[in-house]
Amino acid sequence: MDFILQNMEAVLRVRNKHTFHPMREIGGFKTCPGYCLQNGAFELPVGINFTVTSQGATSVELVLFKRRDPEPFAVLPFPDEYRVGNVYSMIVFGLEIHEFEYAYRMDGPYDPSRGMLFDRSNLLLDPYARAVAGQSGWGTRASSEPAYRGRVVSSNFDWHGVRSPHIAMEDLIIYETHVRGFTRHASSGVMHPGTFDGLMEKIPYLKELGVNAIELMPIFEFDEMRDMRVHDGNLLLDYWGYNPVAFFAPNTAYSAEHEFTNEGDELRRLVRTLHKNGMEIILDVVFNHTAEGNQDGPIFSFKGVDNSVYYLLAPDGTYYNFSGCGNTVNCNHPIVHQMIVECLRYWVIEYRIDGFRFDLASILGRNEDGTPMHNPPLLESLAADPLLSGVKLIAEAWDAGGLYQVGSFPSRDNRWAEWNGKYRDDIRCFLKGDSGKATAASYRIVGSPDLYQHTSRGESASINFITCHDGFTLYDLFSYNVKHNEANGWDNTDGESFNNSWNCGAEGETDRREINDLRRRQQKNAIAVLMCSRGTPMFLAGDEFGNTQFGNNNAYCQ
């Protein structure tokens, strides 16, 4: 990335030397046309390059703020000569990246029935923002900041020559965990609980377990305060993070020091230390929806920049909801397609991420009208992209719109592995003694050849799991026959009702020794089967010591 910026700087020097694009003062700053081939805001030795794309906007303004100030200190309209097609690009001189934050205002037609939501009064977060202001401490938002704002980051981290261990898929043992949840409790014994640094402190524990890859639940900047509410005296937040605000930015609340863009370097330190210890890192990424929700949701970024481009819209302008979260990202629109590819490249280049697990990945294969595609352009691009060629691609091969593609997920050149939901279901039924399940279980144990052999992907395409963040923990799987999600505040209506669980003779906690002994044996049986199955095993954090959620199988807000 530094090499690219240096070459861009050389081009700009030559261009300005020959006065092809003379300087122009706007809003009190010297400016010139920017490098329009790179979206987002990034630092050059001569200034800051701001580039944003909008197909429907008629005019765009760059709005600059001093850090934490509620009012802007400068507003810079993009002149027509700084626009190439639908791309607005400008270099601003005299800015110091540690001293300002930025947003955009866009003017254009407002017609919700046609998917047009342009409103010049809205402050809009850059879809390519590499860091986000407006939220830092967990569950807090600075009241003086009216909206999310972008920050510019520098790229000068010292990796000490450490490289990824490049572990083959068939040799991985994956441990799914949550950055905050893994160390937030005092019993973790870390100095920085609930942060990237706290997780780094627990690497010796992970090595002792024998896992060699961690899969982190979402770390993109997300809004844990969406749908924040109090139930039975408890403050409930959207804890898991499947509620993205900015795809390019690490979550500021996972930083041990809430100062200027520390979250990026803290994540890099975590990755460097994992790699140094022979472990890989996989990110759970959410490109299927955003925190802007449906037509009743807020407008803070994508809706205001280009609503009809970024989202799948019905003919009346309302949002298709294949995600179950209010909206669906229009993944195969060329502009969105490009953004997702560039986003993943960014995480690989700047953070050296080893793999990605795609939440509700079947949405990534839907057309602009919502129908499934045979060879989805986005999935084809991800599989064939040279910069992503060494990266593991893992699909949650279904979505909330009824599309289920376990064993049939579009996989160019056999690049994609899948969360094998059929493994989970068949092994659960087998372990609790359901009749007629031995044959199905045997197929799962030998690598699910019925699912993967005919596609030539083989057993390494199967990510085997019995538990994950969705559903019961391993302890609860053998302690509850039904879900107990009352603490979520939805009268136990949320969460999956068909869990293939068995309480071993008593619902929930019990003092009966024979039941507790049976439960422990069943947990051991499950782990033994998982480790002896062909494919790639994945464990849920906490299952190794019998973590319980007291029957809650949808603990997203706990």
Query: Quick one: 9 exposed, middle or buried, by C-beta within 10 A (0-12, 13-18, 19+)?
Result: middle
The CATH number assigned to the domain holding 42 equals 2.60.40.10
Give residue 200's pLDDT: 98
336 pLDDT band, cuts 50/70/90, is very high
The label of the residue with tokens 């803290």 reads 266
Q: Is residue 360 part of a domain?
A: no
Count the helices and strands in the chain (H runs, E runs).
Answer: 13, 25
In a domain, 42, yes or no: yes
| Statement: residue 126 has pLDDT above 50 | yes
Answer whether residue 459 is part of any domain.
Answer: no
Are 541 and 175 spatial neighbours (Cβ–Cβ below 8 Å)?
Answer: yes
Q: Is residue 233 over pLDDT 80?
A: yes
Task: Return d(Cα 405, Cα 395) in angstroms, integer.
Answer: 9
Task: Please report which helix (H) or strand (E) contains residue 174, including its range.
Answer: strand 174-177
| pLDDT at res. 9 | 53
Residue 183 phi, psi (nearest 5): -130, 10
Report whether 38 contacts 49 (CB < 8 A).
Answer: yes
**CB neighbour list of residue 4: distance below 8 Å, 6 or more residues apart:** none
Q: Can you give 5-30 as a three-state secondary structure string? A: HHHHHHHHHHHHHCCCCCCEEECCEE
Q: For residues 358 and 144, which has the higher predicted lDDT (pLDDT)?
A: 358
Residue 549 CA to its chain's centroid (Å): 24
Angle at the Cα of 460 (from 458 to 465), degrees rounded to 5? 120
Whether 104 is in a domain gets the answer: yes
The residue assigned the tokens 């930083």 is 255
Phi, psi at 388, each rounded to 5°: -105, 10
How would you classify the pairing of strands 462-464 and 536-540?
parallel
Give the least confident one: 19-28, 126-135, 322-331. 19-28
Strands 280-285, 355-358: pairing kind: parallel
pLDDT in tens, 15-60: 454 444 668 999 999 999 999 999 999 999 989 999 999 999 999 9
Q: Which two tokens stand for residue 373?
A: 């595609």
The confidence band for 13, taking pLDDT boundaries of 50, 70 and 90, is low
Question: Does residue 80 belong to any structural domain of this protein?
Answer: yes
Instruction: Over range 237-248, report the average pLDDT.
Output: 96
pLDDT exceeds cutoff 80 at 285: yes
pLDDT at 157 over 60: yes
Residue 353: how many CB atoms within 10 A of its CB?
Answer: 23
The predicted structure's pLDDT at residue 14: 43
The DSSP code sequence of 208-244 is HHT--EEEESP-EEE-TTTT-EEETTEEE---S--SE
Contact residues for 303 (Cβ-Cβ < 8 A; gap 6+): 117, 292, 297, 310, 311
Within-domain flag for 57: yes
Pairing, β 29-33 against β 24-26: antiparallel
Give the residue numbers spanning the domain of 33. 2-108
Euclidean distance between CA atoms 407 and 459, whole angstroms: 11
pLDDT at position 226 is: 80
Q: What is the mean pLDDT of residues 47-76?
A: 96
In which band, very low, low, confident or very high, does the pLDDT at 139 lie, cut at 50, 70 and 90?
A: confident
Inside any domain, residue 17 = yes
> What b/e string do you get for 445-464 counting C-beta neighbours within 10 Å, with b at 16 or more?
bebbeebbeeeebbbbbbbb
**Looking at the annotation, which residues are catalytic?**
359, 396
508 is written with which tokens?
């929930």
Decide if 51 is inside a domain: yes
Q: What is the mean pLDDT of the segment spanning 123-146? A: 80
**Picking from 224-228, 265-269, 445-449, 506-510, which range would have the lowest pLDDT averaged per residue?**
224-228
Q: How many domains does the chain have?
A: 1
Provide the b/e sequence for 75-112 (b: ≥16 CB within 10 Å).
Answer: ebbbeeebbeeebbbbbbeebebeebbbbbbbebeeee
Name the band, by pLDDT with cuts 50, 70 and 90, for residue 8: low
Alpha-carbon separation of residue 209 from 39, 102, 180, 203, 542 (angstroms): 42, 44, 20, 10, 11
% of the chain residues with pLDDT over 90: 87
